[in-house]
Amino acid sequence: MSFKLIDTSPVRHKISILRSAATTTKVFRELAGELAQILCYEALRDAPLKLYEVTSPICATTGYALDENDYVFLPILRAGLGLVDGLLKFMPNARLGHIGLYRDEATLKPVKYYYKVPSEIENKHVFILDPMLATAGSALAAIEILREQGVKQISMICLFAAPEGVKKLEEQYPDVTVYAASLDERLNENGYIVPGCGDAGDRLWGTK
Protein backbone atom coordinates (compact mmCIF):
# COMPACT_ATOMS: atom_id res chain seq x y z
CA MET A 1 0.00 0.00 0.00
CA SER A 2 1.12 3.53 -0.70
CA PHE A 3 0.30 5.77 2.28
CA LYS A 4 0.37 9.45 1.42
CA LEU A 5 0.40 11.85 4.36
CA ILE A 6 -0.54 15.34 3.21
CA ASP A 7 0.57 17.40 6.20
CA THR A 8 1.20 20.82 4.73
CA SER A 9 0.89 23.88 6.97
CA PRO A 10 -2.71 24.68 5.88
CA VAL A 11 -3.69 21.04 6.48
CA ARG A 12 -2.15 21.00 9.95
CA HIS A 13 -3.99 24.23 10.73
CA LYS A 14 -7.37 22.80 9.71
CA ILE A 15 -6.77 19.41 11.37
CA SER A 16 -5.99 21.16 14.67
CA ILE A 17 -9.33 22.94 14.54
CA LEU A 18 -11.11 19.63 13.85
CA ARG A 19 -9.45 18.09 16.92
CA SER A 20 -10.79 20.75 19.27
CA ALA A 21 -13.83 19.73 21.30
CA ALA A 22 -14.91 23.39 21.11
CA THR A 23 -15.31 23.34 17.30
CA THR A 24 -18.96 23.65 16.27
CA THR A 25 -20.78 21.22 13.99
CA LYS A 26 -20.96 23.86 11.25
CA VAL A 27 -17.22 24.55 11.27
CA PHE A 28 -16.40 20.84 11.59
CA ARG A 29 -18.46 20.08 8.45
CA GLU A 30 -16.92 22.92 6.47
CA LEU A 31 -13.35 21.98 7.34
CA ALA A 32 -13.92 18.27 6.69
CA GLY A 33 -15.09 19.14 3.17
CA GLU A 34 -12.17 21.51 2.58
CA LEU A 35 -9.63 18.90 3.71
CA ALA A 36 -11.21 16.22 1.54
CA GLN A 37 -10.86 18.54 -1.42
CA ILE A 38 -7.17 19.16 -0.67
CA LEU A 39 -6.53 15.42 -0.39
CA CYS A 40 -8.32 14.77 -3.67
CA TYR A 41 -6.17 17.38 -5.41
CA GLU A 42 -3.12 15.44 -4.24
CA ALA A 43 -4.63 12.10 -5.25
CA LEU A 44 -5.20 13.36 -8.80
CA ARG A 45 -1.89 15.17 -9.12
CA ASP A 46 -0.76 12.86 -11.96
CA ALA A 47 -4.18 11.76 -13.25
CA PRO A 48 -4.48 11.23 -17.03
CA LEU A 49 -5.80 14.17 -19.02
CA LYS A 50 -7.58 14.56 -22.32
CA LEU A 51 -6.40 17.22 -24.75
CA TYR A 52 -8.74 19.64 -26.48
CA GLU A 53 -8.56 23.03 -28.17
CA VAL A 54 -9.44 26.09 -26.11
CA THR A 55 -9.54 29.64 -27.37
CA SER A 56 -8.27 32.36 -25.07
CA PRO A 57 -8.91 36.08 -25.72
CA ILE A 58 -5.55 36.05 -27.52
CA CYS A 59 -5.41 32.80 -29.51
CA ALA A 60 -6.21 29.10 -29.70
CA THR A 61 -4.18 26.77 -27.50
CA THR A 62 -4.19 23.30 -25.98
CA GLY A 63 -6.53 22.63 -23.04
CA TYR A 64 -6.41 19.73 -20.59
CA ALA A 65 -9.43 18.01 -19.06
CA LEU A 66 -10.01 15.42 -16.38
CA ASP A 67 -12.63 12.88 -17.41
CA GLU A 68 -14.77 13.18 -14.29
CA ASN A 69 -16.94 10.24 -15.35
CA ASP A 70 -13.95 7.97 -14.72
CA TYR A 71 -14.22 8.54 -10.96
CA VAL A 72 -16.58 7.31 -8.27
CA PHE A 73 -16.75 8.68 -4.73
CA LEU A 74 -17.90 5.97 -2.32
CA PRO A 75 -18.59 7.32 1.18
CA ILE A 76 -18.88 4.82 3.99
CA LEU A 77 -22.11 5.78 5.74
CA ARG A 78 -22.62 7.80 7.65
CA ALA A 79 -19.43 9.71 8.45
CA GLY A 80 -18.11 9.45 4.89
CA LEU A 81 -20.96 11.65 3.71
CA GLY A 82 -19.23 14.56 5.43
CA LEU A 83 -16.51 14.50 2.76
CA VAL A 84 -18.80 14.37 -0.27
CA ASP A 85 -19.83 18.03 -0.65
CA GLY A 86 -16.26 19.27 -0.80
CA LEU A 87 -15.31 16.67 -3.39
CA LEU A 88 -18.32 17.31 -5.62
CA LYS A 89 -17.46 21.00 -5.68
CA PHE A 90 -14.13 19.93 -7.16
CA MET A 91 -15.52 17.24 -9.51
CA PRO A 92 -19.28 17.81 -9.88
CA ASN A 93 -19.65 15.19 -12.62
CA ALA A 94 -18.02 12.36 -10.70
CA ARG A 95 -20.28 9.41 -9.92
CA LEU A 96 -21.44 8.81 -6.36
CA GLY A 97 -22.11 5.49 -4.65
CA HIS A 98 -22.98 4.62 -1.05
CA ILE A 99 -21.94 1.80 1.22
CA GLY A 100 -23.43 1.29 4.67
CA LEU A 101 -21.04 -0.29 7.17
CA TYR A 102 -21.41 0.18 10.89
CA ARG A 103 -18.98 -0.98 13.53
CA ASP A 104 -20.20 -3.54 16.04
CA GLU A 105 -19.10 -1.96 19.32
CA ALA A 106 -18.48 -5.37 20.91
CA THR A 107 -16.39 -7.00 18.16
CA LEU A 108 -15.20 -3.79 16.40
CA LYS A 109 -15.97 -5.58 13.10
CA PRO A 110 -18.00 -4.02 10.26
CA VAL A 111 -21.55 -5.05 9.45
CA LYS A 112 -22.89 -4.21 5.95
CA TYR A 113 -26.45 -2.90 5.73
CA TYR A 114 -26.52 -0.93 2.43
CA TYR A 115 -24.70 -0.94 -0.91
CA LYS A 116 -25.58 1.02 -4.07
CA VAL A 117 -23.03 1.99 -6.72
CA PRO A 118 -23.03 3.27 -10.33
CA SER A 119 -23.09 0.84 -13.23
CA GLU A 120 -19.81 -0.28 -14.76
CA ILE A 121 -18.01 0.52 -11.52
CA GLU A 122 -15.39 -2.08 -12.43
CA ASN A 123 -14.07 0.38 -15.03
CA LYS A 124 -13.87 3.36 -12.66
CA HIS A 125 -11.31 4.70 -10.22
CA VAL A 126 -13.12 4.43 -6.88
CA PHE A 127 -12.30 6.66 -3.92
CA ILE A 128 -13.49 5.23 -0.61
CA LEU A 129 -14.36 8.08 1.76
CA ASP A 130 -14.18 7.84 5.54
CA PRO A 131 -12.93 10.54 7.92
CA MET A 132 -11.33 7.96 10.22
CA LEU A 133 -9.05 5.05 9.35
CA ALA A 134 -8.96 3.42 12.78
CA THR A 135 -9.08 -0.39 12.97
CA ALA A 136 -9.48 -0.45 9.15
CA GLY A 137 -12.37 -2.90 9.47
CA SER A 138 -14.78 -0.82 7.39
CA ALA A 139 -12.16 0.06 4.79
CA LEU A 140 -11.15 -3.59 4.37
CA ALA A 141 -14.78 -4.65 4.03
CA ALA A 142 -15.44 -1.96 1.40
CA ILE A 143 -12.34 -2.92 -0.58
CA GLU A 144 -13.30 -6.60 -0.48
CA ILE A 145 -16.76 -5.80 -1.87
CA LEU A 146 -15.29 -3.64 -4.65
CA ARG A 147 -12.74 -6.32 -5.57
CA GLU A 148 -15.55 -8.87 -5.86
CA GLN A 149 -17.12 -6.56 -8.45
CA GLY A 150 -13.91 -6.40 -10.42
CA VAL A 151 -12.78 -2.89 -9.43
CA LYS A 152 -9.03 -2.58 -9.95
CA GLN A 153 -8.33 1.08 -9.17
CA ILE A 154 -9.14 1.86 -5.54
CA SER A 155 -7.89 4.71 -3.37
CA MET A 156 -9.01 5.98 0.01
CA ILE A 157 -9.39 9.49 1.40
CA CYS A 158 -9.43 9.92 5.18
CA LEU A 159 -8.72 12.75 7.58
CA PHE A 160 -7.26 10.87 10.55
CA ALA A 161 -5.38 7.56 10.35
CA ALA A 162 -4.07 5.25 13.07
CA PRO A 163 -0.87 3.24 12.55
CA GLU A 164 -2.75 0.02 13.31
CA GLY A 165 -5.24 0.61 10.51
CA VAL A 166 -2.55 1.65 8.04
CA LYS A 167 -0.61 -1.54 8.79
CA LYS A 168 -3.66 -3.78 8.22
CA LEU A 169 -4.40 -2.19 4.87
CA GLU A 170 -0.78 -2.44 3.84
CA GLU A 171 -0.73 -6.16 4.66
CA GLN A 172 -3.98 -7.07 2.88
CA TYR A 173 -4.24 -4.58 0.02
CA PRO A 174 -0.79 -3.21 -0.85
CA ASP A 175 -2.07 -1.79 -4.16
CA VAL A 176 -4.58 0.58 -2.52
CA THR A 177 -3.33 4.13 -1.94
CA VAL A 178 -4.50 6.02 1.16
CA TYR A 179 -4.43 9.82 1.32
CA ALA A 180 -4.61 11.16 4.87
CA ALA A 181 -4.37 14.56 6.53
CA SER A 182 -2.98 13.18 9.81
CA LEU A 183 -1.24 10.02 11.02
CA ASP A 184 -2.06 9.88 14.73
CA GLU A 185 -0.42 8.03 17.62
CA ARG A 186 -2.48 4.89 18.22
CA LEU A 187 -5.87 3.34 18.96
CA ASN A 188 -7.23 3.23 22.50
CA GLU A 189 -8.88 0.23 24.13
CA ASN A 190 -12.21 1.15 22.50
CA GLY A 191 -10.80 1.35 18.99
CA TYR A 192 -10.82 5.14 18.79
CA ILE A 193 -7.94 7.13 17.30
CA VAL A 194 -5.71 8.96 19.80
CA PRO A 195 -5.62 11.96 19.87
CA GLY A 196 -8.09 11.96 16.94
CA CYS A 197 -11.21 14.13 17.05
CA GLY A 198 -13.72 11.88 18.81
CA ASP A 199 -16.53 10.29 16.79
CA ALA A 200 -16.41 12.03 13.41
CA GLY A 201 -19.97 11.00 12.51
CA ASP A 202 -21.41 12.49 15.68
CA ARG A 203 -19.42 15.67 15.22
CA LEU A 204 -20.41 16.04 11.56
CA TRP A 205 -24.11 15.55 12.15
CA GLY A 206 -24.51 16.93 15.67
CA THR A 207 -25.83 13.66 17.08
CA LYS A 208 -23.97 13.86 20.36
- Our answer to whether residue 103 is catalytic in this structure is yes
Please identify which of the residues 107, 130, 175, 207 carries the catalytic annotation.
Answer: 107
Is 62 marked active-site?
A: no
Strands 125-129 and 71-77 turn out to be parallel
Among this protein's residues, is 107 annotated catalytic? yes
| d(C-alpha 155, C-alpha 143), whole Å | 9
- Bridge partners of 55, per DSSP, are 60
Nearest to 76 by CA among 152, 135, 21, 9: 135
Which of 147, 202, 203, 207 is the catalytic position? 202
For residue 181, what is the enclosing H or E element? strand 177-183
Say how far apart CA 1 and CA 126 lie, in whole Å. Answer: 15
For 64-75, letters b (16+ CB in 10 Å) and e give: eebeeebbbbbb
Q: Please report how many Cα atoms fall inside a 13 Å half-sphere around the Cα of residue 26, on the Cβ side.
A: 0
Which of 103, 175, 203, 207 is catalytic? The answer is 103
Give the residue numbers annotated as catalytic, written as ranges. 103, 107, 199, 202
